[in-house]
Amino acid sequence: MIFLIRHGETLGNASRVVQRPDNPLSPRGHAQAERLARRLEREGIARILSSDLARAAMTAEHVHRATSAPLVFDALLHERSFGDIRGTAYADLGFDMFAPDYSPPNGETWELFHARVDRAWVRVLDVAASTDGHLAVVSHGLVCRSLAERHLVLPTGAIAPERWENTGVTIVEGRAPWTVSLMNCIAHLDGLADAAAPTAGVV
């Protein structure tokens, strides 16, 4: 099986700021990642493939420590690059950065982003095929949504969420047609005390 995971919360998520590549996990994000790691500790995770952006890499390190599974980073799993608007508060943008026709200056268009996610999915499948056990993939909200909308078979009647939860777990069967048996699950966060404002950003 493939465990598709969004990274833990950052202060940028909580304060609704377009993420910079080096944004680390917030204290709440670390607590979420620790809960995630405990959830996955007995799931037979044999390898971890992660985006190397700080928030995903730090989340993956928690899983690595809990499972002792080898951890490999791949830039194909990066979040969509929003270029020059990174570091800007959503409230100060004055437009919808997720609009289908918006192209961020020095960033990725939706077309380029989806094409990269397609390459990332090929990489995920190659690693999964060569892994004796389950593969954990730690990435970002828009990557998860792109995969769910264009590569995965969702449960009957389900649609890909607009927002993917921090450390949300999606379980994909390890063979074509890549059927999702659990989507965007955060049961491992039940009872976690708020250490920061609720997450609002999706990237």
Q: What element of type H or E holds 88?
A: none
State pLDDT tens for residues 153-186. 998 889 999 889 999 999 999 889 999 999 999 9
State pLDDT tens for residues 113-162. 999 999 999 999 999 999 999 999 999 999 999 999 999 999 888 999 98
158 inside domain: yes
| Residue 108: half-sphere exposure toward Cβ, Cα within 13 Å | 15
Per-residue confidence band for 194, with pLDDT thresholds at 50, 70 and 90: low
21 inside domain: yes
DSSP secondary structure code for residue 151 in this structure: T
86 inside domain: yes
- Give CA separation, 201 vs 22, 29, 72, 166, 179, in Å: 16, 13, 26, 10, 27
| Alpha-helix runs per DSSP H in the chain | 11-15, 27-40, 54-67, 110-129, 141-150
Provide the pLDDT for residue 197: 40
Task: Provide the number of structural domains found in the chain.
Answer: 1
State pLDDT tens for residues 48-72. 999 999 999 999 999 999 999 999 9
Q: Are strands 169-172 and 180-185 parallel, antiparallel or unpaired?
A: antiparallel
8 inside domain: yes
Q: Are strands 134-139 and 2-6 parallel, antiparallel or unpaired?
A: parallel
69 inside domain: yes
More confident residue, 134 or 200: 134
For every residue of 136-200, DSSP letters joined together read EEEE-HHHHHHHHHHT-BPPTT----SSPPTT-EEEE-SSTT-BEEEEEE-GGGTTPPPSSSPP-
Q: What is the CATH number of the domain that holds 141?
A: 3.40.50.1240
Per-residue confidence band for 200, with pLDDT thresholds at 50, 70 and 90: very low
Share of the chain above pLDDT 70, in %: 95
In the predicted model, what is the mean pLDDT of the chain?
93
Q: Which domain holds residue 148?
A: 2-189
Residue 56 DSSP SS3: helix
pLDDT at 76 over 90: yes
202 inside domain: no
Q: What region, left, alpha or beta, does residue 96 occupy, with left being phi > 0 and alpha being psi -120 to 50 degrees? A: beta
The answer to whether the CB of 59 falls within 8 A of the CB of 150 is no
Q: How far apart are CA 15 and CA 12, in angstroms?
A: 5
195 inside domain: no
196 inside domain: no
Share of the chain above pLDDT 90, in %: 80
End-to-end CA distance of the chain: 25
Global confidence as pTM: 0.92
Provide the pLDDT for residue 124: 98
> What are the tokens at 48?
């971890």
